[in-house]
């Protein structure tokens, strides 16, 4: 029985002209996800960007292992935290991205910084996804006074300057938690806690648009024929929500999460640049760029300290934007 | 009437924001006087606390802060001892506003020119080149652009000063660094708006009547495509006026962004609350202005 398969407008309308042109036919049982994937695959910049991101991810994960297995001499000259006498070496065959003020390998530090930048981005987007979907779905599904209350709250939060809110949040509440006695004992825990606050704070200011979009979707889905049919057949609220509503807002939610991801990565590097984000010895792209900027002097130009971490950050943002746009087109989502 | 109501509604909103900021800032451990005089005698500590009313309950502190606020007094700075927040604003705000407005001008002008050109010469090598520049400007963050601009135009070519503020020459690089991202955004919005407008029926009709292509674009498509640019420009101006921390930091510009970041780090309560309020008021005010402009530009829009 496939009757309970959520039916989107596209499925009811039959195969799209492009799908017919490519010899694709929507098969029974293949949901909107499969068709979106077909469209995404045809989008060359998006596919290229996905491959780039996967390679970056692989490099970030593999680099510590390469260091561990390649012998101690290589690890000593290329470890992200290994100091050496070779200060400000320009990029060459040995140090691909050059070295910094303490003689550390910039390539290694860029990959090391990518870890935290990507981590904060992914978790921050996750936080915004969860809050946004729950908030929007609740508002749209409940309707009435609760809807009004929830959405007015979103309106109010919209008029807050979010950067300032995050700065104040991280420097105040973050500091308060950080000074609890059991955390002060462990510097490792302290560093991770700071990152935790970073993505909680960033996620907490990035869910507003998500909530609005999800609410709109839920409002329109609630009155669609297949939901009414399901209700007429005796399905309860929970079944309708999880079987019909959630699968159908999934595409929108995934798309908007992908579009939120770069902005959270950007926020994080911005805060780390200002010294409000991750603290040394941890590094993110923002703090690496900030180190590079602090070395600007009129005598010698150490361009590699800025260009490589900045380039990695920019390339990642660009790739994420392409993937987000690709997902948007693939799911046929309209975001204002 | 509609706008009057919104102005009145924004008052309680600002009140809520001031309360939120006040409570958040006071939640933080440590006070503004912790860092400097650790071995201070308890008496000095107590006197300082009393001078700034930090020994009173927080509700009382907030009420007296509100009392100052309605009289136009944002309170004293606890870090810059001889100055109050009003003075900090008076010295920093003009700088930040100038920078923001210059960047705004650069972003709108540059964005509109680029967007128009790509739409006009769609498919040519020039439009591809412009599209690439636009893509770069949207994806490369300001704090990467700014140091690269400094390295190239100030350090290498010596065309502009490296940092600081004062003459118009000092303003060029920061304004570009701040505005570039938004120029790219504006170009994209205008371009997609124009391409959409060019496919609409009134364009077909105008073309059928024998209107020249440039005139067609400039008079009809451009006007349609300007609407989304206007609605974007409100939040954009707010972002430019409030989001210049990094650029101010890199170019060592004495604007208010520096005070906000330092204020949060030093627990300079009145500075943080005052600046947060100012930013919120700017944001709310600009959104109102944009909504009003919208009714002027597009007669179909009405809020009544």
Taking the CA of residue B173 and the nearest CA in chain A, the distance in Å comes to 15
Percent of chain A surpassing pLDDT 90 = 1
Neighboring chain A residues of B238 at a CB cutoff of 8 Å: 161
Contact at CB, B141 and A176, closer than 8 angstroms: no
pLDDT for A6: 45
If one compares A75 and B202, the residue with the highest pLDDT of the two is: B202
If one compares B182 and A161, the residue with the highest pLDDT of the two is: B182
State CA A162 to chain mean position distance: 17
Please determine, for residue A73, whether its predicted confidence score (pLDDT) is greater than 80: no
Mean pLDDT of A96-107: 74
Least confident of A19-33, A145-159, A247-261, B214-228: A19-33
A residues 291-310 near B, CB within 8 Å?
292-293, 296, 298, 301, 303, 306-307, 310
Neighboring chain A residues of B13 at a CB cutoff of 8 Å: 156, 159
Integer angstrom CA distances of residue A123 from A60, A145, A328: 17, 32, 21
Neighboring chain B residues of A292 at a CB cutoff of 8 Å: 147
Give tens-digit pLDDT for B102-138: 899 999 999 999 888 888 777 788 888 888 888 888 8
pLDDT for A4: 42
Give tens-digit pLDDT for B239-258: 787 667 788 888 888 888 77
Give tens-digit pLDDT for A27-36: 455 666 777 7
Token code pair at residue B34: 């912790």
Least confident of A111-125, A170-184, B224-238: A170-184
Neighboring chain A residues of B275 at a CB cutoff of 8 Å: 164
Q: For A164, which of B29, B136, B260 is closest by C-beta distance?
A: B260
Contact at CB, B151 and A289, closer than 8 angstroms: no
pLDDT for A174: 67
A residues 249-268 near B, CB within 8 Å?
266
pLDDT for A283: 81
Integer angstrom CA distances of residue B23 from A74, A276, B215, B220: 52, 20, 57, 52
Please determine, for residue A7, whether its predicted confidence score (pLDDT) is greater than 60: no
What count of Cα atoms within 13 Å lies in the side-chain half-sphere of residue B43?
A: 0
Q: For B29, which of A179, A286, A289 is closest by C-beta distance?
A: A179
Peptide bond into A281 cis (omega under 30): yes
Please determine, for residue A308, whether its predicted confidence score (pLDDT) is greater than 80: yes
Least confident of A161-175, A244-258, A312-326: A161-175
Please determine, for residue A99, whether its predicted confidence score (pLDDT) is greater than 50: yes
pLDDT category at A309 given cuts 50, 70, 90 is confident
* Mean per-residue pLDDT of chain B: 78
pLDDT category at A51 given cuts 50, 70, 90 is very high
What are the residue ranges of helices labelled H in chain B? 2-27, 42-51, 58-70, 85-120, 125-139, 142-149, 168-198, 201-208, 213-216, 222-242, 245-250, 256-266, 269-297
Distance, CA of A302 to CA of B147 (rounded, Å)? 11
pLDDT for B154: 74
CA-based angle A220:A223:A226, to the nearest 5? 110
Give tens-digit pLDDT for A10-24: 444 444 444 444 444
A253, A318 contact by CB (below 8 A): no
Mean pLDDT of B153-176: 76
Q: Closest chain B residue to A287 measured between Cα atoms?
A: B143
Neighboring chain A residues of B243 at a CB cutoff of 8 Å: 163
Most confident residue range from A12-26, A163-177, B263-277: B263-277
Mean pLDDT of A294-307: 76
Across-strand partners of A269? none
Give tens-digit pLDDT for B42-52: 666 666 666 66
pLDDT for B67: 75
For testing contact with chain B, the best of A49, A113, A153, A160 (most B CBs within 10 A)? A160
For testing contact with chain B, the best of A52, A110, A158, A159 (most B CBs within 10 A)? A159
CATH class of B94-262: mainly alpha
Residue B249: count other Cβ atoms within 10 Å of its Cβ: 20
Contact at CB, A306 and B144, closer than 8 angstroms: yes
If one compares A228 and A163, the residue with the highest pLDDT of the two is: A228
| DSSP symbol at A223 | T
Token code pair at residue B78: 């606890």
DSSP A107-163: HHHHHHHHHHHHHHHHHHHHHHHHHHHHHHHHHHHH-HHHHHHHHHHHHHHHTS-HH
Please determine, for residue A68, whether its predicted confidence score (pLDDT) is greater than 80: no
Residue A234: count other Cβ atoms within 10 Å of its Cβ: 7
* A177 has a chain B CB within 8 A of its CB: no
Q: Closest chain A residue to B241 measured between Cα atoms?
A: A161
Mean pLDDT of A277-293: 80
Least confident of A67-81, A194-208, B8-22, B148-162: A67-81
Please determine, for residue A148, whether its predicted confidence score (pLDDT) is greater than 80: yes
Distance, CA of A113 to CA of A98 (rounded, Å)? 16
Distance, CA of A42 to CA of A31 (rounded, Å)? 18
Give tens-digit pLDDT for B57-95: 777 777 777 777 777 666 777 666 667 777 777 788 888
* A54 has a chain B CB within 8 A of its CB: no
Taking the CA of residue A237 and the nearest CA in chain B, the distance in Å comes to 36
pLDDT for A10: 44
Distance, CA of A143 to CA of A141 (rounded, Å)? 6
Position of tokens 């991101």? Answer: A53
pLDDT category at B39 given cuts 50, 70, 90 is low
Taking the CA of residue B10 and the nearest CA in chain A, the distance in Å comes to 10
Going by C-alpha positions, the residue among A54, A60, A116, A122 that lies closest to residue A264 is: A122
Q: Which residues of B sit within 8 Å Cβ distance of A?
A: 10, 13, 16-17, 21, 24-25, 27-30, 135-136, 138-141, 143-144, 147-148, 150-151, 155-156, 162, 238, 242-243, 245-246, 249-250, 260-261, 264-265, 272, 275-276, 279-280, 283-284, 287
* A172 has a chain B CB within 8 A of its CB: yes
pLDDT for A54: 92
Q: Closest chain B residue to A302 measured between Cα atoms?
A: B151
* Mean per-residue pLDDT of chain A: 77
Percent of chain A surpassing pLDDT 70 = 76
pLDDT for B32: 60
Neighboring chain B residues of A294 at a CB cutoff of 8 Å: none
């Amino acid at each position: 029985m496939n009757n309970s398969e959520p039916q989107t407008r596209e499925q009811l309308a039959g195969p799209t002209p492009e799908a017919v042109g490519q010899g694709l036919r929507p098969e029974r049982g293949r949901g909107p996800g499969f068709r979106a994937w077909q469209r995404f695959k045809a989008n060359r910049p998006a596919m290229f960007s996905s491959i780039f991101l996967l390679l970056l991810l692989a490099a970030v994960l593999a680099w510590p292992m390469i260091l561990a297995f390649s012998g101690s001499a290589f690890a000593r000259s290329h470890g992200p935290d290994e100091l050496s006498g070779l200060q400000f070496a320009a990029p060459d065959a040995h140090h691909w991205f050059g070295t910094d003020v303490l003689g550390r390998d910039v390539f290694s530090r860029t990959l090391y910084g990518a870890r935290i930048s990507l981590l904060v981005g992914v978790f921050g987007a996750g936080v915004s996804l969860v809050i946004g979907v729950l908030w929007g779905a609740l508002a749209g599904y409940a309707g009435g006074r609760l809807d009004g209350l929830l959405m007015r709250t979103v309106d109010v939060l919209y008029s807050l300057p979010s950067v300032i809110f995050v700065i104040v949040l991280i420097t105040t509440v973050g500091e308060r938690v950080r000074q609890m006695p059991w955390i002060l004992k462990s510097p490792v825990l302290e560093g991770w806690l700071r990152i935790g606050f970073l993505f909680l704070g960033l996620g907490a200011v990035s869910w507003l648009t998500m909530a609005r979009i999800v609410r709109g979707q839920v409002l329109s889905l609630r009155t669609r024929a297949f939901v009414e049919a399901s209700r007429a057949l005796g399905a309860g609220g929970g079944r309708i929500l999880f079987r019909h509503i959630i699968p159908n807002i999934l595409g929108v939610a995934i798309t908007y999460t992908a579009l939120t991801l770069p902005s959270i990565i950007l926020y994080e590097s911005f805060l780390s640049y200002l010294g409000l984000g991750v603290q040394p010895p941890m590094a993110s792209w923002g703090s690496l760029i900030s180190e590079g900027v602090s070395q600007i002097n009129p005598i010698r130009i150490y361009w590699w300290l800025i260009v490589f971490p900045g380039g990695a950050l920019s390339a990642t943002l660009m790739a994420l934007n392409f993937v987000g746009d690709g997902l948007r087109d693939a799911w046929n989502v309209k975001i204002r | 009437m509609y706008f009057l109501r919104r102005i009145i509604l924004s008052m309680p909103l600002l009140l809520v924001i001031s309360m939120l900021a006040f409570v958040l800032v006071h939640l933080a451990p440590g006070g503004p006087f912790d860092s400097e005089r650790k071995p201070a005698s308890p008496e000095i500590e107590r006197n300082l606390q009393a001078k700034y009313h930090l020994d009173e309950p927080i509700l009382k502190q907030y009420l007296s802060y509100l009392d100052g606020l309605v009289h136009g007094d944002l309170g004293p700075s606890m870090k810059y001892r001889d100055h109050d927040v009003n003075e900090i604003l008076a010295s920093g705000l003009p700088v930040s506003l100038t920078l923001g407005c210059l960047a705004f001008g650069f972003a709108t002008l540059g964005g509109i020119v680029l967007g128009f050109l790509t739409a006009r010469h769609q498919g040519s090598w020039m439009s591809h080149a412009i599209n690439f520049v636009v893509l770069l400007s949207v994806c490369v963050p300001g704090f990467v652009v700014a140091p690269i601009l400094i390295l190239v135009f100030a350090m290498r070519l010596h065309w502009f000063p490296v940092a600081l503020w004062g003459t118009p020459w000092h303003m060029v690089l920061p304004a570009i660094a701040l505005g570039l991202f938004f120029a790219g955004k504006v170009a994209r919005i205008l371009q997609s708006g124009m391409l959409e407008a060019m496919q609409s029926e009134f364009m077909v009709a105008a073309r059928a009547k024998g209107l020249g292509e440039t005139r067609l674009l400039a008079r009809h498509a451009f006007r349609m495509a300007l609407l989304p640019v206007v609605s974007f420009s409100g939040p954009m101006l707010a972002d430019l006026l409030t989001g210049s921390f990094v650029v101010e930091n890199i170019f060592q510009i004495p604007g208010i962004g520096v005070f906000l970041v330092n204020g949060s780090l030093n627990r300079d309560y009145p500075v943080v609350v005052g600046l947060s309020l100012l930013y919120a008021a700017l944001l709310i005010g600009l959104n109102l202005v944009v909504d009003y402009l919208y009714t002027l530009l597009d007669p179909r829009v009405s809020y009544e």
